[in-house]
Every structure is written in structure tokens, then in C-alpha cells.
Amino acid sequence: MVKRKIKGIMKKYVVTGGAGFIGSALVRGLLGLGDGSVEVIDDLSTGRQQNLAEVSSQIAFHQVNICDFDAIRPVISGADTVFQIGRASCRERV
């Protein structure tokens, strides 16, 4: 894969819900740009790792819930763009 550098710096993309149908299509599209790394956050509650099988060696996959900020903080840290495709069903219990 050829990566294009913009001003000598590679971009960092994060896709939440990246193992879903739409999210995995976005992941493949971002990889096709060739200008950065792609990290995926998905708890696989509705997504499937098989949707990312063809690009699994080109991404960093994090199986965590987006409601767990402590778990996603290091992933989103330094990201140039975060695509929120994941279904947020975080509900605080009262």
C-alpha cells in the first residue's frame, strides 16, 4: 500500500463501529486514501470482525465499548479525525 504524506505527517483516523457494515466500508475507504493509519473501536455487539477480514493486517482493532472512556482514551488520543459510526447505547443507571 502506498501512503501519501501531507506536509510530511501521516494522519491518524479512528472509526468507532468500524466492524459494522457502514463502518467497515469507511475503514476500507480511509485505507484507500493511503495518507494515514486507521484504528477501529468496536465492541462487536452488532458488528462482525469478518467485515474487516480483508484489511485486518492494515488496521489496529480495539474490542472495547465506546462508553468506556478510560479504554478508548489512548486510542483517540492524537487522532486527527474520529468517525462516530458506532451505536452509542450508554445509559447511566439512576
In the chain, where are the structural domains located?
11-84
Instruction: Give me the average pLDDT of each 10-residue run along the chain (94 residues).
Output: 57 97 98 96 95 98 94 97 84 53
pLDDT of residue 6: 52
Buried b (16+ CB within 10 A) or exposed e, 57-90: eebebbebbbeeeeebeebbeebeebbebbeeee
Architecture field, domain 11-84? 3-Layer(aba) Sandwich (3.40)
pTM: 0.85
